[in-house]
Amino acid sequence: MRILFAASEAYPLVKTGGLADVAAALPVALNDIGIETRLLLPAYPDAMDSARDVARAAELGSLLGGHGATLFSARMPDTGLPLLLLDCPPLFARRGNPYTETGGSDWPDNHLRFAALSLAAARIASGTSGLDWRADVLHANDWQTGLAPAYLRMSGAPNTRSVFTIHNMRYQGLFEAGVLAELELPRHAFGMEGLEFHGHVSMLKAGLAFCDHITTVSPTYAEEIRTPEFGYGMEGLLAARGHDLSGVLNGIDERAWNPATDPHIPASFNGDDLSGKAACKTALQRELGLDEDSGAPLISMVTRLTAQKGVDLVIAILGALAERGIQVAILGAGDPGFEHHLRTLPVPPGRIATRLGYDETLAHRLIAGADMFLMPSRFEPCGLTQMYAMRYGTLAIARRTGGLADTIRDIATSDPTSGTGFLFDASTPDSLLDAVLRAVRLRADGTAWRLAQRRAMQQDFSWTKAAEAYLRIYSRLAPTAASNVRAATIEQPGTGRAGESS
């Protein structure tokens, strides 16, 4: 079975968010279980510089707007994953953030850039790119490749099916209807059943409307986006396609986030011996200027500073936490309003520490050294940091939504012998505070806390589980191609449809 995985970013070549992590890891996990998967990305200069074994592979000829395009084959520098890089200098020869100019505004030709990427994906997948290769399934991701299923459908490719994955409904790839002429799609594609959305072109909706199967990154988010609160106006379409919609939980990079081998933390530890974690906590308190008190609960948060992440809820309870001797350490970057707020907090020193910016290694130290981790998101398609925290025995305090609800089991006060974290429902400071205080009370019982830490650390967040769930989806779409994948992978007794909902 052959899969073309199309995305606009992939770590470590280019990254702005979680999509880059998924695009780097899932295709590797798919290859590992015997599915031949190639990753298509634009040949941004940063990507061309970092990729290895770059070689000219095919001339695609003219894409949209008469731009000539070339396909390069290459490999990921770290994993060796086979890449296809779409070279079209007028569209992609730009450094830095792939979507925005230096000033932060979107590139004015983004519609053309990502339509070209989508068209190239459809041509490669359907076997009309000049490469000696085609795909059984084209797997597109988010709005930047949302037109790929549309181009595939319009080209009538009989042997290639498409999957479209939503990583975040919030970003919809909306453009003025006037751009339609540049996209070289038939007029009828622009209808209520197609890519039209309130008089605009929506590339997200194109993906949802024209793909054969829709996935999103957690089973609970797959349910939530069928409702007005989470569907941003597309809930009707998603509900109508309910039979073709499933949620598959993302995995995490278990090599990068492993407390036994993490080079970024001052002491290593594991589920059987947590003494290194205590050393991480003391070092973190010292580094951040917090009181060096091993008995004080220390809660950390590593996040983009946006309303989505419930940063306002945290700010609202900081005073109440500090009063109770609870320490909080926040690392974040994003919304200037939240940054200002955190910079000017009227809180006692020694209890609250904030660091503004994006700092990968400090993120590891915060996650390793804290007792608890905050994630009070309003919505969370999957979320990675709660899974990282659990691997480090740092129990998450999170809102029961999306991937948080799917990865954390609540430790009920009435039964502290099961569960892996603390969940709350209402997006209010009081509910968050209640959950924090529940966690603090459990921590006072050293034995119960250690058992809960061990349960959290034992969770399986590997990408293999996700890859097997995707294989089941691909197999339903392309059963003949699936027959050449390791039979054991498909028919493993007992795996059922774990990790996938539909």
Yes or no: say if 301 and 330 are a contact pair by the CB < 8 Å rule: yes
Tell me how far, at minimum, the Cβ of 100 lies from ligand ADP, in Å: 16
The CB density around residue 291, as the number of other CB atoms within 10 Å, is: 13
- Measured from the CB atom, is 126 or 144 closer to ligand ADP? 144
Asked if 315 is part of the footprint of ligand ADP (rule: CB under 6 A), the reply reads no
Among 180, 248, 280, 363, binds ligand ADP (CB under 6 A): 363
Asked if 8 is part of the footprint of ligand ADP (rule: CB under 6 A), the reply reads no
CA distances from 174 to 20, 194, 241, 283 (A): 21, 13, 21, 47
Closest C-alpha to 463, from 220, 216, 254 = 254
CA-based max dimension of the chain: 68
Strands (E) in 88-212, as ranges, are: 137-141, 161-166, 174-176, 196-197, 200-202
Q: 181-207 burial, b if ≥16 CB within 10 A, otherwise e? A: eebebeeebbeeebbbbeebbbbbbbb
Tell me how far, at minimum, the Cβ of 385 lies from ligand ADP, in Å: 4
Question: Could you report how far apart the first and last alpha carbons of the chain are, in Å?
Answer: 22
Rounded Cα–Cα distance for residues 355 and 329 (Å): 8
Among the residues of 33-109, which ranges form H helices? Answer: 45-50, 89-92
Burial of 404 (0-12, 13-18, 19+ CB in 10 A): buried
Encoded one letter per residue, x for contact with ligand ADP by CB under 6 A and - for no contact, window 434-473 reads: ----------------------------------------
Strands (E) in 251-349, as ranges, are: 298-305, 327-334
Where does this chain touch ligand ADP (CB under 6 A) — which range of 65-73, 274-282, 378-386, 435-443? 378-386
Tell me how far, at minimum, the Cβ of 285 lies from ligand ADP, in Å: 19
CA distances from 251 to 18, 439, 465 (A): 11, 26, 8
Rounded Cα–Cα distance for residues 149 and 160 (Å): 10
Asked if 304 is part of the footprint of ligand ADP (rule: CB under 6 A), the reply reads yes
Tell me how far, at minimum, the Cβ of 303 lies from ligand ADP, in Å: 5
Tell me how far, at minimum, the Cβ of 299 lies from ligand ADP, in Å: 16
- Measured from the CB atom, is 207 or 381 closer to ligand ADP? 381
Among 259, 332, 369, 376, binds ligand ADP (CB under 6 A): 332
- Measured from the CB atom, is 12 or 130 closer to ligand ADP? 12
Main-chain dihedrals φ then ψ at residue 465, nearest 5 degrees: -60, -45
Yes or no: say if 294 and 322 are a contact pair by the CB < 8 Å rule: no
Tell me how far, at minimum, the Cβ of 105 lies from ligand ADP, in Å: 21
Where does this chain touch ligand ADP (CB under 6 A) — which range of 5-13, 35-43, 117-125, 353-361? 353-361
Where does this chain touch ligand ADP (CB under 6 A) — which range of 300-308, 343-351, 410-418, 471-479? 300-308
CB-based closest residue to ligand ADP: 18
Closest C-alpha to 63, from 136, 146, 144, 129 = 129
The CB density around residue 49, as the number of other CB atoms within 10 Å, is: 11
Among 132, 272, 360, 415, binds ligand ADP (CB under 6 A): 360
Where does this chain touch ligand ADP (CB under 6 A) — which range of 40-48, 84-92, 150-158, 358-366? 358-366
Asked if 383 is part of the footprint of ligand ADP (rule: CB under 6 A), the reply reads yes
Asked if 358 is part of the footprint of ligand ADP (rule: CB under 6 A), the reply reads yes
Asked if 384 is part of the footprint of ligand ADP (rule: CB under 6 A), the reply reads yes
Among 116, 163, 204, 331, binds ligand ADP (CB under 6 A): 331
The CB density around residue 214, as the number of other CB atoms within 10 Å, is: 26
Among 324, 359, 400, 433, binds ligand ADP (CB under 6 A): 359
Among 302, 321, 328, 411, binds ligand ADP (CB under 6 A): 302
- Measured from the CB atom, is 21 or 244 closer to ligand ADP? 21
Tell me how far, at minimum, the Cβ of 311 lies from ligand ADP, in Å: 11
Asked if 27 is part of the footprint of ligand ADP (rule: CB under 6 A), the reply reads no
- Measured from the CB atom, is 272 or 360 closer to ligand ADP? 360
- Measured from the CB atom, is 173 or 332 closer to ligand ADP? 332
- Cα 172 versus chain centre, distance: 16
Q: 373-387 burial, b if ≥16 CB within 10 A, otherwise e? A: bbbbbbbbbbbbbbb
The site for ligand ADP (CB under 6 A) is made up of 17-18, 302-304, 331-333, 358-360, 363, 382-385
